[in-house]
Structure 1
């Protein structure tokens, strides 16, 4: 009894296995549009049910039209292959009917895809994906990317150039239907077109040239090269006739020829091709295209009554098809909601299996747990140590910041005090000592006039010394006065100070600016003014120079001040200590406060150059 049962099971398994190569060959032939070979393979099937349904499927895919009202019913007795083919037939019947039933077509193709994934047969999966993508490609307008998962799945299963060509056709179709305004096409459309064009340079399957020439016609139509577009639509029509694909392409090519002639202002030719398209129209969607184009043609002719009539007809068909409401996409969402319960059931089963796996893993995890805990404890100790070190570092940084802030506050107070003291000294020099020196000079002139017997040479030298002292006092007084800085800004104040000091001291002081078009922050301008003022004062007091040039250059993030004179210079060992008093040491203190740098170059008898760089 066991031997008989074993033989029975073996025969059933062998019978199913023996059909697998034939089924795969059938779907490969169908994918390559070799429907004659596909029909020949189906007639050799030993299973009469399988043979009959494969013949029905071949007719549907070859003609893309429904020739009978034969209703497909799924039966429990059907094996996986028969059930799969029945789902495909039902999907194509719903898709190619005069009035499509998109929802039922989607359901049937989805069931076919689920069954194909269950069998793990790639040629079944691809056949279901082709049906699903044909359904989406037939939509008038695609408002979202519901097709994307199926396109990606087909990309994963791509095996040869035919798969690549079909993928490119679908991508071009979907991209051209995502916008109602074809001029707004995604740039990817042209990338895919160029890739398709390169493949067909060496492509040997002539059955796909009908589609290829059609897509080239679409491309040139979008490029507004209507003569070239017309040539390729005619070529597509010719290839369709050669390969017995008239039912599918006669309408499409006639309609496109009418459209490109309309765009090319050949109204008479456009009407002739439109009449041809109407003769080959069988589906409601095709009537929509015809009526919409007829409305545009009559409007172009000025026949507005006819234009309105056909526009009204196309709008009625449009809403009947559910174009504006994206019926197919809404239907897909409905189906997805209906399958939520099945997904939950599957999730529960997966949860149960996960529990079993978890118990298996649990023992291994126990062995690892001790090690993990030890590592975590060690890491925690290290982390605490790092935190303590970081807190210590932060504390030191806080103390350093406080000290720095105190130092800055001290420097600010010092600078403010120096400004007040300078103003006071300048006023005293000008008002008190300047007046006193003027009085001394008047008195000396009086004395010189009354002493006619005196030494005139001695009087002349004394008068020269008094004039020189008086001039230096006036120059220093002017150099210490900063009244202009707040009103006019740094550059005008420096230039005016240079003019006054030049007149008073007899030293030719020139100021050159480069890129200093905008004002700086007030406190910085005042500090920079005092630095330049101190440079002038040093030259007046110590340099014994006749010329001084000051260059102020704005480099964007830094300000450069270069002061040079033709005085007596000074030894480099003294420049390192900047002397005593408030001269160069005061300038260095101010530069340090501004986070800048100071360099001094000097040579005895040839003058001194001081270069300052200050960030702004």
Structure 2
């Protein structure tokens, strides 16, 4: 209660300050009001503010930004020629340059789907906004960067919390930006980018999201009921507060849809798309498949044009489940096949893990600039001192020779520095080529694995299915074989083919999960298995703060996955523990269970339970593999692998 009163007191003070601001005619103040209206989704009011700006240069640039923001990838904007002429380098650092960086960043997201460039522009804008003390643009660049994180461009970046903290510090006296802070904190927490200290990361994540949503509930009552920001509030409420209550989630989503029905502006297309897609998913959970398909088909009217392949993948993935629920197995199989093709075409790793290096690069450039300025001043002072001394001692021959020698040494040092730079660039190129070769090799192996799965698992089923169809054709008139029995066998083969394709697709998805990080993949696997309530698996980790080499992570994930499968199939265990730790370049993995155990002396470890294959893979990694088991007391498997 006291917390809500405190927020109310602050925000009443904010309302008074905001009203005072709106009566001001200062262009900077008008820009601040414009961006605040955009964050509240007040498109018409933002448009009205533009015409009050007196400075022609600022007005023209904010018009370009508004058009890009409003169209948002759903219609072509008319600023292409202007964008081509925007030059960033060697520009005067002023408000117009900040707006140009904001325009370029937003344009990369909305029309080129190049979030790497968008982040580069946004980061430069953020640093310049700090330098020029323009808080309102600093907030806009922070929100832009957080939105790039939200859209999954970085898998784990420690700086995301730094950007959140900066937004919070700039938002304490403004309810709109406080709302945006808690909104992005929820989204970033839900996709696992925020740090947690508890063993159970899922519980901690839920606790953080619910705490943030309580803050949002305290804020939303201070907005007008007709404020469009309610659209984002009810969408969050459906996804976060009622995620485990399908009925309550549907209620909030339908209320959000009601708010969106009156929004005819193209700016709201992305909100309509997400709402209709989520409605379809929730209705499918309730087995209301026909209504779900209706909403999913409606969502296609509001798709962004910049990600057509991703849109197709999501659509085929969702509708295949819905067709299968309606027992339309042919349609489900066709949609699943198309979705599988989309998933192969999609490059899920585009631009991942590059933004951190960009940020380091930008910081390095800034540092080099400062060092250069200091060095220039030092050289100027040195030149002045030499000139003064030269005038006092009449430029003696010894001084002239000394100066000549100094210049010669400096040139030699500069040449050595250039050679070192060339050497470093050559090394980086070689590393880049090695990385590309490894990536191509990995892709080739993955294609071979998928081809083998299709040939071994699906090929024989399809061949048998073809024979059955030929028998159906031959026996249509002769009727030598029971037609009904032959139809049933053929239908069973179609079901089997469908399930094999699903298994291959799920196996591919497991690799994608592993690529997101070994620890996260193991935790997700353990959570999924534990949710069946037959065995509880706990994951304990220590020292795994950084990613390992990608191929090593995938290999280790497959080994742990196979060992856990053995526990499920053979151990009759109720509980299991996966303990993984990294210390002093040595990775230790201990997998224990409380199952029935076995007598090691009577078990052939070279053949049983796939142990032989695992031992071979561990030996290939120069590691050791030990098994400890006692009848009736469970078993332990210990892996020690050196990390080079």
Where relative contact order (Cα < 8 A, 6+ residues apart) is larger, the structure is 2
Question: Over alpha carbons, which structure has the higher Rg?
Answer: 1
